[in-house]
Amino acid sequence: MQNISVEEVKSRLAAGEKINLVDVREPDEHAAFNIGGILLPLGKVQGMQLESIEALKEKEVIVYCRSGKRSLQAGLFLEANGFGNVKNLEGGMLAWQENS
């Protein structure tokens, strides 16, 4: 799994690119601040509750969390379950907000 920088994701979003973002934080964290990703908490990823993102198996998926640790775990799990192009947002939402 590769990492992707906040700068690269922001640049791609600013250019109007459609990006498949998956937020593996908890619902309260997502409600407080999010960048438009599909909410799929890490526990659901690990519990194989992947229906909401099944259609993304063959597409690029960028996972993120607060700091990048949970999304790293989620990304590795997704790769092990057939997702072929998973990237982890380096530094997560902390880095995103620092880069605002």
Q: Is 97 a catalytic residue?
A: no
What does the block give as tokens for 1? 């799994």
Q: Which residues pair with 16 in a beta bridge?
A: none
Tell me, rounded to whole angstroms, the distance of Cα 97 from its chain centroid: 15
Specify the DSSP class assigned to residue 52.
Answer: G
Residue bearing tokens 């063959």: 58
The active-site residue out of 6, 45, 50, 65 is 65
H or E element in which residue 64 lies = strand 60-64
d(CA 49, CA 74): 12
Return the active site residues.
65
